[in-house]
Amino acid sequence: MTAPRIVITGIGGICALGTDAPAIWSGMRAGRQAIGPITTVPLHELKVRIGAEIKQLPEHGLDRKRLVTMDRFSLLASIAAQEAMSQSGFAVDDANTHRVGAVVGTGVCGWEAIEESYRAILLEGKPRTGIFTVPRVMPGAAAGQVSMTLGLRGPVFGATSACASSNHAILSAADQLRLGRADVMLAGGSDAPLIYGILKGWEALRVLASETCRPFSADRNGLVLGEGAGMVVLETLEHAQARGATILAELAGGGMSADASDIVAPTVEGPSAALQACLNEAGLAPSDVDYINAHGTGTKANDRIETEAIKRVFGAHASKLSVSSTKSMHAHCLGASGALELIACVMAIREGIVPPTAGYREADPECDLDVTPNEARRRDVRVALSNGFAFGGTNAVIAVKAME
């Protein structure tokens, strides 16, 4: 039996670049770096105080009774999910609710609630935490909150694999459709890591940039953390056509792998295997790919190894690819990054524009791909890949292509 084709019919997002997908894409096209001093949380003695924060949330229609049960990462996921579903034009009702689900990835779960609890008990001497601490903290809370926000009663679960969480969630959601467990799936990721305890932990790793994120630039000195969420609506091609939906792109396939090597240091072999598996599943030759949205964190090791993996898989075609890291603009949103970067891939296909790697200043001979420095470029993009290579050595790559 031929597996059903999976298509994308809605996208939604929120991050420092904008509070909806059009604003995010506009910022990406412009090469705008939404990275600056963190102003919304107490940072105490932190050495690194920059990030990509959402200064003000949009109107979202969720009442206070719901909000007190939600951590920020769940709220961001719900906002992005509402936008994606609205764009898709699909209406959830009693007749179809059990055929609609959601998979939401996250990297660090509800640390806002954890930190509030630590402060209440250890600093303020309170005898107990907030009553909703546990449901706010759960890594799967965002998926549950999305299902309640939109009334989804099909397959609903979370995915957590650090920076690859979004890509794993999206590919898992596509599997639900291929297996016939659902007709429509919302999928993506959300994270809100601009919390003192999280930032303190990342600071200890000595991988945070002191000024801004400059992926692939020879003078890069680390990553910058950001907050955000991205969601897409997936459905089978047959289902989308039957209801007359506007199809934004086709999810052509995906590839997953594990380094099985080191908890933080990446290998070339793991990312290479995920890239090759993605091409194989999507039925693509290396020469079919026009654009890669790189994992591109801005650390010395990650960018060098990702470059080597791309060259290993794509061979001579690697020099003809357009590559960029949009983390240079929205920063590293951990479990949300892959979903935000998939928005970039979908829009690159639809508009024929490759978003840039912002902040690029100096060529690095070890990162000698065409990384689209500083300015967006017009190019006919028929096929795009989104790379997700995470701590723990978990890798997931997604291929999207123009509808034919």
pLDDT, tens only, 29-40? 999 999 999 987
Residue 359: strand, helix, or coil:
coil
pLDDT score of 41 = 75
Q: Which residues pair with 229 in a beta bridge?
A: 14, 190
Q: Is 330 a known active-site residue?
A: no
Looking only at the bridges linking them, the beta strands covering 249-258 and 6-15 are antiparallel
Number of H helices, E strands in the chain: 13, 14
Given the residues 15, 332, 345, 367, select the one marked as catalytic. Answer: 332
Given the residues 163, 278, 333, 345, select the one marked as catalytic. Answer: 163
- CA 345/CA 354 separation, integer angstroms: 8
253-401 matches 6-242 in CATH topology: yes
pLDDT tens-digit profile of 232-278?
A: 999 999 999 999 999 999 999 999 999 999 999 999 999 999 999 99
The tokens describing 300, both together, are 């010395």
Whether the CB-CB separation of 282 and 386 falls below 8 Å is answered with no
pLDDT band at 2 (very low <50, low <70, confident <90, very high): confident
Whether the CB-CB separation of 49 and 38 falls below 8 Å is answered with yes
Q: Which residues pair with 332 in a beta bridge?
A: 225
Exposure string for 24-47, b = 16+ CB within 10 A, e = fewer: bbebbbebbbbbeebeebebeeee
Whether the CB-CB separation of 178 and 234 falls below 8 Å is answered with no
Q: What is the model's pTM?
A: 0.97
Question: What residue spans define the domains of the chain?
Answer: 6-242, 253-401
Q: Is 295 a known active-site residue?
A: yes
- Listed residue (226, 299, 296) closest to 51, CA to CA: 226
pLDDT tens-digit profile of 165-218?
A: 999 999 999 999 999 999 999 999 999 999 999 999 999 999 999 999 999 999
The helix (H) or strand (E) run that includes residue 50 is strand 50-51
Which whole number is the average pLDDT over 69-88?
98
Which whole number is the average pLDDT over 358-376?
98
pLDDT band at 46 (very low <50, low <70, confident <90, very high): confident
Length of the chain: 404
Residue 275: strand, helix, or coil:
helix
Q: Is 332 a known active-site residue?
A: yes
CATH architecture, domain 253-401: 3-Layer(aba) Sandwich (3.40)
Range of weakest confidence among 22-31, 110-119, 237-246: 110-119
CATH of domain 6-242: 3.40.47.10
Given the residues 295, 330, 333, 345, select the one marked as catalytic. Answer: 295
pLDDT score of 1 = 67
Percentage of residues of the chain with pLDDT beyond 70: 99
